[in-house]
C-alpha cells in the first residue's frame, strides 16, 4: 500500500519566521566573535515532473496527518527556505553562495537532497569560486 501524497505545503509562516530569526542570531553571534559567516543555499533534485526511476530514491516529506508531500511540494519547501536565507543574507550583509545551478540534476545526488561524490565536487567548485572571487578583500 502506498502512502497518500499531496502537493500542498502546510502553513510555513511560523517555521520560516523562526528560521529567519535564528539566522539573524547567528549573524550577530558571528559578528561579535569576528567570525566570517557565509550562507550557502540548499539544493535538491526535486521537481514536479520527476521520472519514476528518480522518485524511487526520494524519502521524507511526511506531514503531521500522515500524508507525504510530493516532489513538487518538497521542492516548493526547499525554495521557500532558500529564499528566506537569501533575504536575510541581503538584509544583514552576509555573503551568500547560491548553489541553485545544481538543482534538478539527479546524477549529483544519492537521494533527494544529499550529494554523491560528483555533486560534492561541483559544490566545492562553486564555493571555491566564491572565495577566489573575493580573495583580495580577505587579507590572504
pLDDT of residue 41: 96
CA distance 11 to 124: 34
Provide the CATH number for the domain around residue 47. 3.40.50.1110
Higher pLDDT, 138 or 70: 70
Q: pLDDT exceeding 90 applies to what percent of the chain?
A: 54
Q: Tens digit of pLDDT for each residue in 49-83?
A: 655 665 555 656 778 888 888 778 888 888 999 99
Give the chain's domain count.
1
SS3 state at 25: helix
CA atoms within 13 A of residue 43's CA, in its CB half-sphere = 23
pLDDT of residue 7: 80
Integer angstrom CA distances of residue 33 from 21, 47, 79, 123: 19, 39, 30, 27
CA distance 99 to 112: 15
pLDDT of residue 137: 58
Give me the domain span that covers residue 124: 5-137
Amino acid at each position: 500500500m502506498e502512502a497518500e501524497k499531496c502537493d500542498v505545503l502546510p502553513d510555513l509562516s511560523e517555521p520560516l519566521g523562526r528560521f529567519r530569526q535564528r539566522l539573524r542570531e547567528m549573524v550577530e553571534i558571528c559578528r561579535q566573535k569576528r567570525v566570517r559567516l557565509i550562507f550557502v543555499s540548499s539544493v535538491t533534485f526535486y521537481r514536479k515532473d520527476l521520472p519514476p526511476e528518480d522518485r524511487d530514491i526520494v524519502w521524507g516529506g511526511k506531514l503531521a496527518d500522515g500524508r507525504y508531500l510530493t516532489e513538487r511540494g518538497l521542492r516548493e519547501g526547499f525554495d521557500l527556505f532558500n529564499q528566506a536565507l537569501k533575504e536575510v543574507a541581503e538584509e544583514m550583509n552576509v555573503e551568500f553562495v547560491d548553489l541553485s545551478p545544481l538543482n534538478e540534476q539527479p546524477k549529483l545526488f544519492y537521494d533527494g537532497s544529499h550529494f554523491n561524490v560528483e555533486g560534492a565536487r561541483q559544490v566545492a567548485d562553486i564555493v571555491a569560486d566564491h572565495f577566489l572571487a573575493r580573495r583580495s578583500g580577505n587579507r590572504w
